[in-house]
Amino acid sequence: MKDLIIKNSKAVDCSVFNTVDLEKLTIQASTVAIPSEIGRLTNLKELRLIDNTLTNLPKELFDLDKTFIFFENNKPDAMREIGLLFFDFQWKKITKEQAIIYLFILQNDTDSITKNDISRLYDALDYRIESVRKNAQQLLNKWLPLKRIEENAVIAILGKFDVLSLNDIAHRLDNVSVNYETKITSKTTHVILCNEPNLDTVKLTESKSIISTEQNFLAWLNKTDVQFLSKKNEENEDALDNVSEMLLSNNSENIELAIQMMKTHGVSKRLLGDLFIFFNRDSNNQKYYRKAKNLFKKNAPKELLTFLGGDHGSNYEIYPCNEAFYAFLKETQVMDTMQIAFALCKDLYYSMSKELKKGEEALTALIKNGILDITPLHKIPEELKELKGFSTLICRNHFNKGSAFPYWFSQLPIARLDLYDQGIDLPENFREFKNLTHLCLPTYLEAFPSVITQIPTLEVLEMSMTQFERVPEEIKALSKLRKIMVFREWDDKFEEIKEQKKDFFPTNCNITRVENKYR
């Protein structure tokens, strides 16, 4: 039997591997585990794996060094990279020993890799498949700890840092009296392996220097050379507040200064969150947007960059209410979850606070200059009825169908209520508002709510053109009205309607047409 095709199968009959004269084997559209016995097919000239779902491939495939192995459209996704690996092996770009270790790495079979294989892991740092390089680096992080570097030591930094440049850390090495170079010499005491260190001419296994990795080196440096703004303490608390306020201000000079201070003096966990907030919220400011993102990349923990990069590429931007992202923050604590949610997703901030029995505290934090905007919450929170410290309530947008104002809503001691683009009917108890002077009607409703004519304290009304057209004569009861604001609509008849309704309002009431609030 020269040729064999296995198709739509869930297993491979092991007797196949006793067929010494088999020259061509095709496995197609199957869900199979290829057993190690495949290494017996020493006369096999061609192995084709097409449209399969494959579990881990055996290392014995590399015994078939004279076999052309063809991969096409196999799952899982790692099989595409494994196909590249076999291509490199067949074209003798890598050795069999290297190929086996790289296969283990791609299949997350790190238990099969021992410290005796460390030279192959060094080789992996320069291999063309990125996931091989990254996973090899992670193993070396565990195997090559770096406890300390003495003063006047000479470190050789091989390759490039993930996001830093040598200029970023040169002055910090001066601070701790450590010298650096970019190649190994007779004076080298430590070797730091970064991305693609180009080890072709370097025999690390023969080096007497202490060898470690970029991650371990940076952890040592951050611990040894503690920057002023890198960690909150009693001495820098005010400085952190000032830098945070400057970064998130609308003043270009303040933003520039804040970024420069962080570049020079470090980035604390809080400031890291501020940078993330800045470039996720202010992408229109391209000049500082790029600077903030670059500074974030240089200071963020690798696990955070890996998570963001997995779903969002190199932009590190998120959909503001991405629940998977906030779950990741809760688990890892690499940034303050509540800090990010407060700035980017008020709805999630409130719900997380409510889980912590801090719903009222969360609402209080949303009050700014006496104004509380609950629009992002998409509902009227129950804690509102006990809340103090605000006189204006903004409750815009069309809430969920079936929403209603709670019975206690009209007892709120507010002077201004903004219901623009809201679609909730106004109940009769709205007449019980005691201090309401300024009201924007729920413009999503076409009707003019009749209960409005029974709120004698009203001085200012905002409404849609349709509602203005339907204003009833009973509005004459509102003797304190001094201003009517009507939202502009295309081809409206404002002047005509104004003339028709003018006798409904006090003589000193100013009736004007204004722009839509979202234009």
The yes-or-no verdict on residue 325 having pLDDT over 90 is yes
For the chain, the domains span 3-119, 144-224, 237-344, 391-514
Contacts of the segment 458-463: beta carbons below 8 A, 24+ positions apart:
459/483, 460/484, 460/485, 461/485, 462/418, 462/420, 462/486, 462/487, 462/514, 463/487
Tokens of 149: 């570097």
The yes-or-no verdict on residue 66 having pLDDT over 60 is yes
For the chain, give the number of residues.
519
Provide the pLDDT for residue 1.
Answer: 59
Tokens of 310: 């997995």
Provide the pLDDT for residue 519.
Answer: 43
C-beta neighbour count of 245 within 10 angstroms: 12
Task: Identify whether the C-beta of residue 390 lies closer than 8 Å to the C-beta of residue 372.
Answer: yes
Task: Identify whether the C-beta of residue 433 lies closer than 8 Å to the C-beta of residue 416.
Answer: no
- Name the nearest CA neighbour of 363 among 381, 375, 378, 336: 381
The yes-or-no verdict on residue 455 having pLDDT over 90 is yes
C-beta neighbour count of 122 within 10 angstroms: 19
Q: Which CATH architecture has domain 391-514?
A: Alpha-Beta Horseshoe (3.80)
The per-residue pLDDT for range 460-494, each reduced to its tens digit, is 999 999 999 999 999 999 999 999 999 988 777 89
- Coil, helix or strand at residue 371: strand
- Name the nearest CA neighbour of 274 among 253, 252, 255, 251: 255
The per-residue pLDDT for range 184-209, each reduced to its tens digit, is 999 999 999 998 999 988 888 888 99
406/491: higher pLDDT: 406
Contacts of the segment 374-381: beta carbons below 8 A, 24+ positions apart:
376/345, 376/346, 376/347, 377/346, 377/347, 377/350, 378/347, 379/403, 380/405, 380/406, 380/409, 381/350, 381/354
Residue with tokens 């409005």, as numbered in its chain: 452
Task: Identify whether the C-beta of residue 443 lies closer than 8 Å to the C-beta of residue 467.
Answer: yes
Q: Which CATH architecture has domain 144-224?
A: 3-Layer(aba) Sandwich (3.40)
d(CA 352, CA 372): 19
Identify any residues that bridge with 28 across adjacent strands, giving them in sequence order: 7, 50
Identify any residues that bridge with 184 across adjacent strands, giving them in sequence order: none
Task: Identify whether the C-beta of residue 460 lies closer than 8 Å to the C-beta of residue 436.
Answer: no
Q: Do 3-119 and 391-514 have matching folds?
A: yes
State the CATH class of domain 3-119: alpha beta
The yes-or-no verdict on residue 517 having pLDDT over 80 is no
Provide the pLDDT for residue 337.
Answer: 96
Provide the pLDDT for residue 119.
Answer: 94
Provide the pLDDT for residue 270.
Answer: 96
* CA-atom Rg of the chain in angstroms: 34
263/311: higher pLDDT: 263
The per-residue pLDDT for range 130-173, each reduced to its tens digit, is 999 999 999 999 999 999 999 999 999 999 887 778 888 888 89
The per-residue pLDDT for range 228-284, each reduced to its tens digit, is 999 898 899 999 999 999 999 989 999 999 999 998 899 999 999 999 999 988 666
Tokens of 120: 């192959």
How would DSSP label each residue in 314-342? GG----TT-HHHHHHHHHH-SS-HHHHHH
Compute the average pLDDT of residues 421-426: 90
Q: At what angle do helices 269-281 and 252-265 cross, to 10 degrees?
A: 140
- Coil, helix or strand at residue 503: helix
- The CA-to-CA distance between both ends of the chain, in Å, stands at 76
The per-residue pLDDT for range 26-53, each reduced to its tens digit, is 999 999 889 899 999 988 999 999 999 9
pLDDT band for position 19 (cuts 50, 70, 90): confident
What is the model's pTM? 0.69
SS3 readout for 459-470: CEEEECHHHHHC
Provide the pLDDT for residue 21.
Answer: 85
Residue 280's Cβ-side half-sphere holds a number of Cα atoms within 13 Å equal to 21
Helix, strand, coil % (nearest 5) of the chain? 45, 15, 40
The yes-or-no verdict on residue 402 having pLDDT over 70 is no
Sign (positive or negative) of CA dihedral 124, 127, 130, 132: negative
C-beta neighbour count of 447 within 10 angstroms: 12
